[in-house]
Amino acid sequence: MMPGHGSRLLGAVSAVALLLAAPAAHAGWTLLQNGTGQDAGYFDISAVDGQHAMAVGMHDPGTGNSEAVLAVTTNGTTWTTSRPDGGLPNPMGMELYTCVEMVTTELAFVGGMGKLLVTTSGGAGWTGYKEADWGFMRGPSIADISFVDEQNGILVGSGDVVRRTTDGGTTWTPLDTPVPGEDLGGVQFQAGNRVWVWGGSSTTDPDTREITGYEGGLLARSTDGGVTWQVVFQGEPRAVEHLFMLNGTEGWMISNSMGGPRFEKTADGGATWTAETVPSAAAGALDSLYDVVFFDRCEGFLLGGAGDVSGLFYTTDRGATWGQVDLSGIHPVLPFPFPVPLTMIEFEFPSREAGFGGAKFEALVAYAADGPGPDCGGSLPGDGGTTPIGGEDGGGCGCRAAGASSCLFLLPLAALLVPRLFRRRR
């Protein structure tokens, strides 16, 4: 996984393809499947390549009450859904999945309420892990999981939970949390024992479900695999949504606050952060950011939303300028007398050539480029070292991914009605 938070499926699988205009090549986002539940969708996806991916989210079985769902694909096109309990069933079958980390085509983890699920068969079977004081509604909510290789991983969650494994998830060792009393919402574990964790949450009105504030915003980093921590900031009135470190020095962070979304960049390994421009959607300024990824120091995608509009953006100049990607040709197949545009709330790119997206109405989409595109100087997931990818003094910028255009497309997107629960990244 690239680091890093409906109803019954319709029988018809839409194959509506959207081609993004580009001078020399084409790439596209394709709708794979969707459900009909308006308040259900996929909020976390992990993939190891263009054929193997897993997604967790909420499913509406037609009763009006959403339930957790896990979707798995082994061919990059068709997905099977299930609700595994790993042999540790929760009361009344009330499973709650919060995040997913696919390490290899066979090894994957799903975080849940009070337990951790693991598969060594690509999702064909699952076992559960929990500690003595873990249980549904009383144990931690596993917020995020990040593996640097097949053996070494770190998970974080509520209740000061930080755990590390060195044996592929067979055993998990407690680590000190960098900020006691503050829940962690995300983690990225990289080569060289570098770890970043972040957190923060929103408060909502119980009647209207409108956000009334943000609290607990924090960021911490470690250079020894989580044994010791350096707190970059804590207690800020914002929620850090996602952090993406390209290598040992360069990275990007997105967060949300009552003052609007914040997009920041570091060039010194996360010690200091500089504000970057938040792009505006065609219908106006974004009020939330959801996800960010860079393939190298110049080229990346940013996902956000503005009220009833969501926007996917692309850059080739390190975020100096952004073009809004035209997704207007993709419409979930729904029993409505009018088309409903796609509203993406999550994406995942195992490489610059392939990706997946999750959206409301349990929609899953796939991204494919016709070719690798001009090289911007290094590619995902980074070299794991401290040398900036792309060369010095901005070298490598000006390239473009195959099929992705840097032109600005002006179009409205549909309402975002799926809450961004339990997030992170990835």
pLDDT value of position 138: 80
Q: Give 125-128 contacts, CB < 8 A, sequence gap 24+.
A: 126/84, 126/85, 126/86, 126/87, 127/86, 127/87, 128/85, 128/86, 128/87, 128/88
Evaluate whether residue 228 is within a structural domain: yes
CATH number at residue 287: 2.130.10.10
Evaluate whether residue 320 is within a structural domain: yes
- Kindly state the helix (H) or strand (E) to which residue 369 belongs, with its residue range: strand 363-369
Which residues pair with residue 188 across a beta bridge?
A: 196
Evaluate whether residue 336 is within a structural domain: yes
Q: Identify residue 193 by its one-letter amino acid code.
A: N
pLDDT value of position 309: 66
Name the residue range of residue 56's domain. 17-369
Pair 136, 113: CB distance under 8 Å: yes
CA 370 – CA 408 distance, rounded (Å): 21
Q: Identify residue 99 by its one-letter amino acid code.
A: C
- Kindly state the helix (H) or strand (E) to which residue 27 belongs, with its residue range: strand 27-33
Q: 200 by DSSP, 3-state: which?
A: strand
What b/e sequence results for 279-314 when a residue is b if at least 16 CB atoms lie within 10 Å of its CB, and e otherwise? bbbeeeebbbbbbbbbbbbbbbbbbbbbeebbbbbb
Write the DSSP symbol of residue 86: T
396-to-144, 196, 381 alpha-carbon distances in Å: 32, 26, 16
Strand 184-190 and strand 194-204: pairing?
Answer: antiparallel
The total of other beta-carbon atoms located within 10 Å of residue 170's CB is 10
pLDDT value of position 61: 82
Evaluate whether residue 425 is within a structural domain: no
The total of other beta-carbon atoms located within 10 Å of residue 83's CB is 12
Domain total of the chain = 1
Evaluate whether residue 51 is within a structural domain: yes
Evaluate whether residue 246 is within a structural domain: yes
CA 294 – CA 292 distance, rounded (Å): 7
Which residues pair with residue 116 across a beta bridge?
A: 111, 129
CA 78 – CA 314 distance, rounded (Å): 27
Evaluate whether residue 12 is within a structural domain: no
Strand 251-256 and strand 239-245: pairing?
Answer: antiparallel
CA 230 – CA 367 distance, rounded (Å): 37
Phi, psi of 350 (to 5 degrees): -70, -20
Radius of gyration of the chain (CA): 20
Give, in degrees to the nearest 5, the angle at Cα 286 between 281 and 292.
90
Residues 6 or more apart whose CB falls under 8 angstroms from that of 216 comprise: 182, 183, 199, 200, 201, 234, 235, 236, 239
CA 17 – CA 34 distance, rounded (Å): 15
pTM here is 0.84
CA 191 – CA 245 distance, rounded (Å): 11
CA 72 – CA 52 distance, rounded (Å): 8
Evaluate whether residue 42 is within a structural domain: yes
Q: What is the block-wise mean pLDDT of the chain (426 residues), using blocks of 10 residues? A: 34 26 50 89 96 95 84 96 94 90 98 96 96 86 96 96 97 97 95 95 89 94 97 96 91 95 94 93 87 85 80 86 87 88 91 91 88 50 40 50 34 30 39
Pair 211, 204: CB distance under 8 Å: yes
Burial of 131 from C-beta contacts in 10 A (0-12 / 13-18 / 19+): middle
pLDDT value of position 348: 96
